[in-house]
Structure 1
Amino acid sequence: MEGNLTYLLGRGDSEDMLVSDTPPTSNSSAAYEYTFFYPELDISCDFENISAFASTFFPVLYSLLFVTGLVGNTLVVWVLIVFKKIRAMTDVYLLNLAISDLLFVFSLPFLIQYSMRSQWTFGNAMCKIISSAYFIGFYSSVFFITIMSIDRYLAIVRSVYALQVRTTAHGVITSLVLWAVAILASVPDLIFFQETNYNDRTQCIHHYPDSSNGWKTFSNFEVNVLGWLIPVAVLIFCYHSIWKHLQKCHTQNKYRAMKLVIIVVIVFFLFWTPVNIVLFLDSLRNLYIIDDCQTSQRLDLATELAEALSFIHCCLNPVIYAFVGEKFKKHLRQVFRKYVHFLLICKDCSAFNRHSLDNRSSLHTTSSRLSFVDSVL
């Protein structure tokens, strides 16, 4: 996302902010190495407090997200490929969502080192690769959350039509198109992110070809439209239709399904709305509508907090879209049963196997009673 990596990796060029001769402090993060001067107000704007916050908070947060995101999404990919065998369109989208989250997760070790050392040490090629991987992971994750909402809408509300279009082949084709759109949306970041030396420090930041904020503002609005406005409109339409349809249904797990619909919508709004708001406000700053130091400092701190909130979403996707599903949980139990069986060396192995078979039979009986709505949600 434009805001996330721009603030983390450093500020781009801007004619409304001039770098002063003040040397960076020893604990400055890569994002806030300088004091900025606002010509219209004839004042200097110091970001040292935000720098101290970022340099201590982000390495800890990124480390936790790397571990939990890697374990959760890898487990999803493993179960889908090895045990579930990708038999439905929903499986295709779920697999791609986990891969897109992993793409973001794999960029975190580089960002951890960067935020700790306040200097980019991986070269210009890796600067472009990591920044592009981050933005591709962001766009693709939002796209697949959106397409999974459409898939659920078709399966539940338009079930007759869904029989024709909800095929594995269509899922693969749609996924390839979404990846292509995500890559195209990230091309400006691949072009403009580069390794740059400022005040004897190497940074990985945007370097735009002109002195205006046109490209930066365009990138912000691109995130707002592609990464929030369109997905939110689709989610509201799909889940509102699903909600109305579920109210007419008489499935045994109707209320559990309705709770899941509420959770999906609330989580998306909670984690992605704040960062899109601060990106919009940052665009207003680029257009000189916001031009005072105090507001700018508050906006930068709000951006840091909003980014930290949005990063957590990659760890929640496996829980929301995979682990809560009855079918996926059944496969997950089979995974643990299979590998615990090999690790368990004791006299009670035969008893454990009999107990596992009983559980498997019970699970089969329970899952056979689930309705079509439950299997989709």
Structure 2
Amino acid sequence: MAEYDYVDPGFFNTSSDGSRGHERFLEFRKVFLPCMYLGVFICGLAGNALVLVIYVFYQKLKSLTDVFLVNLPLADLVFVCTLPFWAYASIHEWVFGDVLCKTLLGIYTLNFYTSMLILACVTIDRFVAVARATKAYNQQARRMAWGKAICLFIWGASLLLSLPQIIYGHVLYLDKLVCGYHDEEISTVVLATQMTLGFFLPLVAMIVCYSVIIKTLLRARGFKKHKSLKVIFLVVAAFLLTQTPFNLVKLIRSTNWEHYTMTSFHYAIIVTEAIAYLRACLNPVLYAFVGLKFRRNFWKLVKDLGCLPYLGVSGQWKSSDDASKTCSASHHVEATSMFQL
């Protein structure tokens, strides 16, 4: 985020064409970044807050998946709350001081690691729920205890991993005040850690676990098998489409500093960054709203708020409730169609 937020004009060509291209890029960034930050902030705040409200007030934590799906929107929610500060700084400059600079850099990194590691845990939990369905069902209490311990460990480890940003982050003047960490060695370590834990680990977990899940579902005769397969492909596709471009650009950036002289490269950075941050908006849809139990509780919330008569969906809420009860009638069905959480 912050390390890509400012481009030293000295890196660009000094020709008139290079100067005009740099000016056009600065104008584009000044409009695009605030719109992207605020858009993700609004959608991510609404979606993740709704998920938290439903889990806290309507849906008891009865499974390990529920434990993970409470921590996931919490991580994304704290992440999106930092975006208005970066939106303002991208329009003007950093005016919030050195302490808040370190704090927001730490919060951003903390919740980046937390969110991505929890995504990996959700994937592994779904693998266990399908490939080891009977064992997982018989050890629910133990798995719940382990799940809470794993979440605490993830938050603690993420805090430790965010210490470089907290320690080395500061405000400096580069034609304007910017917040970031500009130590080359620290940036290399941070990039390697983010690539490993924030991209490759969840990617490997998805490839391995979902491959086994797909094989298991293809053998099973459980109902809604094809819908579960569609959800798997949607989850993997969303992760690849949102995270791969930005991580690829970061890899290219780390291998050759000369890309800093290319205006097109800086367009690629901010556009792929915007795509990567869409995960905070997509996670509530992919990991909560696809579940019948969650949708049932959502309609309960809508009913309690008195919105059903205005939406004209009271019958839909009732049918959704009936469908969810039918869905949970068989343990075998619940195990093989675990996406209907």
Q: How does 1:1-377 map to 2 (within 5 A)?
A: 4-8=1-5, 31-32=6-7, 34-36=9-11, 47-117=22-92, 119-163=93-137, 164=139, 167-199=143-175, 201-208=176-183, 213-286=184-257, 291=258, 296-340=262-306, 359=319, 362-363=322-323, 365-369=325-329, 371-372=333-334, 373-377=336-340
Structure 2 residue identity aligned to 1:153: F
Alignment TM-score, normalising by the size of structure 1: 0.81
223-232 or 44-53, which deviates more: 44-53
Distance 2:318 2:12 in 1: 71
State which structure, 1 or 2, has the greater radius of gyration over its C-alpha atoms.
1
Cα displacement (A) at 1:37:
6.8
Asked if 1 retains the 8 angstrom alpha-carbon contact of 2:172 and 2:179, the reply is yes
Structure 2 residue identity aligned to 1:48: E
Structure 2 residue identity aligned to 1:7: Y
Q: Deviations over 1:263-303 (max 9, x none)?
A: 111111111111111111111125xxxx3665x43322211
Cα displacement (A) at 1:369:
4.5
Distance 2:151 2:2 in 1: 25
Which structure has greater helix proportion?
2
Distance 2:321 2:51 in 1: 24
Structure 2 residue identity aligned to 1:300: H
Aligned positions, number? 331
Cα displacement (A) at 1:77:
0.3
Identity %: 29
Determine helix, strand or coil for the equivalent of 2:221: coil
Cα displacement (A) at 1:362:
2.8
Asked if 2 retains the 8 angstrom alpha-carbon contact of 1:327 and 1:367, the reply is no
Alignment TM-score, normalising by the size of structure 2: 0.89
Distance 2:320 2:115 in 1: 33
Asked if 1 retains the 8 angstrom alpha-carbon contact of 2:228 and 2:339, the reply is no
Structure 1 residue identity aligned to 2:157: V
Distance 1:318 1:178 in 2: 20
Distance 1:220 1:358 in 2: 49
Asked if 1 retains the 8 angstrom alpha-carbon contact of 2:292 and 2:320, the reply is no
Cα displacement (A) at 1:237:
0.3
Cα displacement (A) at 1:215:
2.3
Distance 1:107 1:357 in 2: 35
- Give the gaps of 5 or more residues in structure 1: 9-30, 346-351
Distance 1:106 1:153 in 2: 32
The CA RMSD measured in Å over matched residues stands at 2.8
Cα displacement (A) at 1:142:
0.7
- Give the gaps of 5 or more residues in structure 2: none
Structure 2 residue identity aligned to 1:147: C
Cα displacement (A) at 1:368:
3.5
Distance 1:219 1:73 in 2: 27
Cα 1:292/1:331, change in 2 over 3 Å: closer
Cα displacement (A) at 1:74:
0.2
Asked if 2 retains the 8 angstrom alpha-carbon contact of 1:35 and 1:45, the reply is no
Cα displacement (A) at 1:357:
9.4
